[in-house]
Amino acid sequence: MPDISPSRVRLLVSVRDAAEAALARVHGAGLIDAKDPDRGALGALPPETVRAIVAASGDRLTSAVAGEPHDGQEASACLAALAGTGVRYLKIAWAPGRAAAGLMLPAGIPVIAVLFAEDGPEGADVPALAAAGFSGAMIDTKGKDGRRLTDHLPLPRLASFAASCRAHGLLSGLAGSLSLDDIPDLAALGPGYLGFRGGLCAQADRKGGLDPVRIAEAARRLAAVVPRSEAA
């Protein structure tokens, strides 16, 4: 059973290939996420690329995005395509309120439902995700137009989402054009991880290369956040 209750918030770094995975591992990523930034918010990479990323990630946790399906049947096919790559988690786009009819989650691999901030997800969406068999839930932004997660949803809504995930035993994540300055406020909400791509690239260009200095600084700032359990 995966560790869904880390004592500290993990830094998720989205990478496009094995070289970026190695860079993220060396500079402090806690969760290395395979994703194609040239194919939208949740563009899936080929299975062979994902396998190479897993190998380059060493002892770090890994995940891979599996796309943006329209229904449960399509989601099942997207997940099955990456089920044999060796990643620890799979992530799939899922609309709030979507029926789980036709959804078959792969055995032995926890799947995280990704809700888009533009759809206005709430903590009330979490029980249905848990009932459908998802092991985690996260909020990301679909449009990569410069607006950050908190431009779409206020901190109290995000806090409610993270709290609902904890109450239902799900790993939670927050992402969406985050900057380094977002770390203190969002980490204080107690998610399992904060996800980054553009904010860790040179000139904040998510389609460009990762900047090792930015990765290290994000890891440093996250390490400085006092976990909820210790602050209580």
Residue 12 burial (C-beta neighbours within 10 Å; 0-12, 13-18, 19+): buried
Q: Residue 225: its pLDDT value, please?
A: 87
142 included as an active-site residue: no
Domains held by the chain: number = 1
Q: Is residue 5, in this structure, part of any structural domain at all? A: no
- Look up the CATH number of the domain holding residue 48: 3.20.20.70
Mean pLDDT of 86-92: 98
Q: Is residue 3, in this structure, part of any structural domain at all? A: no
Q: Residue 143: its pLDDT value, please?
A: 86
Q: Is residue 1, in this structure, part of any structural domain at all? A: no
Q: Residue 145: its pLDDT value, please?
A: 80
The alpha-helical segments, DSSP class H, found in the chain are 18-26, 47-56, 72-82, 126-132, 149-152, 155-167, 183-187, 212-223, 228-231
Q: Residue 1: its pLDDT value, please?
A: 37
Find tokens 């080929």 and name the residue. 46
pLDDT of 6 strictly over 60: no
Query: How many whole angstroms separate alpha carbon 23 and alpha carbon 41?
Result: 21
Q: Is residue 4, in this structure, part of any structural domain at all? A: no
Q: Residue 204: its pLDDT value, please?
A: 87
91 included as an active-site residue: yes
Find tokens 């949803």 and name the residue. 153
Mean pLDDT of 62-83: 96
Higher-confidence position of 75 and 5: 75
Q: Is residue 104, in this structure, part of any structural domain at all? A: yes
Structure tokens at 132: 């459908």
Q: Is residue 174, in this structure, part of any structural domain at all? A: yes
Under DSSP, is residue 135 helix (H, G, I), strand (E, B) or coil? coil
Query: How many whole angstroms separate alpha carbon 116 and alpha carbon 102?
Result: 21
**Lowest model confidence (mean pLDDT) among 50-59, 110-119, 123-132, 217-226:** 217-226
Mean pLDDT of the chain: 93
Q: Which domain holds residue 16?
A: 10-231
pLDDT (tens digit per residue) in 156-191: 999 999 999 999 999 999 999 999 999 999 999 999
Q: Residue 7: its pLDDT value, please?
A: 62
pLDDT (tens digit per residue) in 28-53: 999 999 999 999 889 999 999 999 99
pLDDT of 227 strictly over 60: no
pLDDT of 3 strictly over 80: no
Q: Residue 144: its pLDDT value, please?
A: 77
Single pTM value for the model: 0.93
Q: Is residue 15, in this structure, part of any structural domain at all? A: yes
